[in-house]
Amino acid sequence: MSRSLSIFVTGGHGFLGRHLTSALEKVGHHVVAPRSSDCNLLDPAALTPWNSRRFDRIYHLAAWTQAGDFCLHHPGEQWVHNQRLNTTVLEWWASSQKQAKLITIGTSCAYAPDRELREENYLEGQPIDSLFTYAMTKRMLWIGQLALAKQYGLKHLTLIPSTLYGPEYHSDGRQLHFIFDLIRKILRGHLYNEPVILWGDGHQRRELIHVDDFVRVALELSPRVEGQVVNVGAGEEYPIRTFAELICLQVGYDPSRIQYDTSKYTGARSKCLEITRLRRLWPDFNPISLGAGLKPVIAWVREKLVEAAPPEVCLSGRTTT
Ligand SMILES: NC(=O)c1ccc[n+]([C@@H]2O[C@H](COP(=O)([O-])OP(=O)(O)OC[C@H]3O[C@@H](n4cnc5c(N)ncnc54)[C@H](OP(=O)(O)O)[C@@H]3O)[C@@H](O)[C@H]2O)c1
C-alpha cells in the first residue's frame, strides 16, 4: 500500500464527499472532513483551526448548488456563496498549506454549448445561460488555482465530472439530478400507479459517471497529474428515453406509459465530455456499465425516496429531466 497521507476534504459529507472520504480512509489515509455547521467556508477564517496541521492533499468539493432549475433562480446568491467559499479555501491553501496539492471539482456546464467539451475549451466561449453564474464560479476557481500556483509554486489539479450517480444520494427534499428523479417517477408509476410525466421530449442526451468510478479516477490521478483540467466521464451519452427504458426494464414498468411534457425546462440538448485526456492518463480506466450501475441506485431510490414518501406524504412533484 502507498504511504498514508493526511488529507483535508471540504464538502466531505455531500454526495461525492461521502464516497470519496470513505474510499480515502479505506486505503489508509487520514481524512479531516468537517461539516459546514462546524466549518462554514463563507467565513474567511473558517479554516484557521487547522493552520498548524500539514496536509498532503486538499480536496475542495464544497459548493452551493443543486440540480434542476436551482441555478436559474439563484444566480446572485450562487455568485456570492461560491466565490466566498472558494476564496476561503484558495487563501488557506496559499497561506497555510503550501505543501498540499489542491484538487478541485469543476463542472461540465462551464463548457460553452457550441464547443466540444474538451479541456482546452474550459475557459472558451459562454456557458449556457441558465447555469451561467455557477459555471463562471467554477471557471474562477480554476483561474484562482492557476494564479496562486504560479505565484507560489503550488501543486494542483481540477477534475470535471459529468453528472454523478450512485447510491446514497440526498433524501432531504432538494432538487434531484435527472437520473434520480427519473427513477423516482418510474418507481412511483409502478408502485402507486401515478402518471409518469418527464420534462422535454426525451431526446435530450445526457452522460453519467458512477460516483465510484469518479472516486477511483480521483485516487488514481491525484498523486501523478499536475496542473491540469481533466474531464471524467463515461465517454458516452444517451437520450433520456434510453435511460427511462433501461429503468423500466429493471423496475418492470411499461415504457409506453411514459408521457413527455415539451413545455418544461430541460437545459442543454446534449452534454458529453470528451475523455481522450483521461484515457491517455489512465488507459486502464473502465467505467461501470450503466445497467450494473443503476441496479443499486434503483434499490436506494425505492427505499429512501419512494417507500419513505408514499402518495399521501409526497410533497415534491418536480421533474428535472
Ligand atoms: N453531483 C454531480 O453530478 C456533480 C457534477 C459536477 C460537479 N460537481 C461538483 O462536485 C462537488 C461535490 O458535489 P456533490 O454532488 O457532492 O454536492 P453536494 O452533495 O451538494 O455537497 C456539497 C457540499 O458542500 C458543502 N458546503 C456548501 N456550502 C458550504 C459552506 N458554506 N461551508 C462549508 N461547506 C459547504 C456542503 O456541506 P454540508 O453538507 O456539511 O452542509 C455539502 O456537503 C461540487 O463542487 C459540485 O459542484 C458535482
Low pLDDT (below 70) residues in the chain: 1, 265, 312-321
Give CA–CA dist 238/101, Å, rounded. 35
CATH number at residue 125: 3.40.50.720
Eight-state DSSP code of residue 259: E
Does 213 fall in a domain? Answer: yes
Give CA–CA dist 157/12, Å, rounded. 18
Does 247 fall in a domain? Answer: yes
Residues 263 and 177 grouped into a single domain: yes
- For ligand 1, atom 34, the nearest C-alpha belongs to 36
If you measure from the C-alpha of residue 15 to the centroid of ligand 1, how many angstroms do you get, rounded to a whole number? 7
Does 156 fall in a domain? Answer: yes
Residues 124 and 250 grouped into a single domain: no
Q: Which three cell numbers stand for residue 149?
A: 500556483
Residues 22 and 117 grouped into a single domain: yes
Does 240 fall in a domain? Answer: yes
If you measure from the C-alpha of residue 173 to the centroid of ligand 1, how many angstroms do you get, rounded to a whole number? 15
First to last CA, the chain: 42
If you measure from the C-alpha of residue 62 to the centroid of ligand 1, how many angstroms do you get, rounded to a whole number? 4
Q: Name every protein residue with a CB atom under 6 angstroms from any ligand 1 atom.
A: 10-11, 13-17, 35-36, 39-42, 61-65, 85, 105, 107, 161, 163-164, 177
CATH number at residue 178: 3.90.25.10
Single pTM value for the model: 0.94
The total of structural domains in the chain comes to 2
Could you give phi then psi for residue 310, rounded to 5 degrees?
Answer: -65, 165
Residues in contact with 12: Cβ distance below 8 Å, sequence separation at least 6, in sequence order: 18, 20, 21, 31, 33, 34, 35, 59, 61
Task: Establish how many alpha carbons lie within 13 A of residue 81's alpha carbon, considering only the half-sphere containing its beta carbon.
Answer: 14
If you measure from the C-alpha of residue 194 to the centroid of ligand 1, how many angstroms do you get, rounded to a whole number? 32
pLDDT value, residue 238: 94
Residues 174 and 144 grouped into a single domain: no
Does 321 fall in a domain? Answer: no
- Judged by DSSP in three states, 242 sits in helix
Residues 91 and 79 grouped into a single domain: yes
Residues 108 and 212 grouped into a single domain: yes
Range of the structural domain that residue 81 is part of: 6-163+208-232
Residues in contact with 238: Cβ distance below 8 Å, sequence separation at least 6, in sequence order: 205, 206, 207, 290
Residues 184 and 258 grouped into a single domain: yes
Give CA–CA dist 89/64, Å, rounded. 14
In 3D space, the residue among 145, 137, 146 whose CA is nearest the CA of residue 83 turns out to be 137
pLDDT value, residue 318: 44
Give CA–CA dist 290/293, Å, rounded. 5
Residues 175 and 76 grouped into a single domain: no
Q: Which three cell numbers stand for residue 38?
A: 462546524
Eight-state DSSP code of residue 222: T
Paired strand residues for 261:
199
Could you give phi then psi for residue 61, rounded to 5 degrees?
Answer: -105, -20
Residues 201 and 220 grouped into a single domain: no
Residues 113 and 189 grouped into a single domain: no
Q: Which three cell numbers stand for residue 3?
A: 504511504
Eight-state DSSP code of residue 72: H
Could you give phi then psi for residue 261, rounded to 5 degrees?
Answer: -105, 100
Q: Given the CA of residue 169, which atom of ligand 1 is nearest to it?
A: 19
Does 306 fall in a domain? Answer: yes
If you measure from the C-alpha of residue 116 to the centroid of ligand 1, how many angstroms do you get, rounded to a whole number? 26
Residues 145 and 13 grouped into a single domain: yes
Residues 151 and 54 grouped into a single domain: yes
Cα-trace Rg, the chain:
20
Does 127 fall in a domain? Answer: yes
Does 320 fall in a domain? Answer: no
Which segments of the chain are extended strands (E)?
A: 6-10, 30-32, 57-60, 101-105, 155-161, 163-165, 197-199, 205-206, 208-210, 229-232, 238-239, 259-261
Q: Pocket of ligand 1, candidates 58, 61, 82: which has the most ligand atoms within 8 Å of its Cβ, to mutate?
A: 61
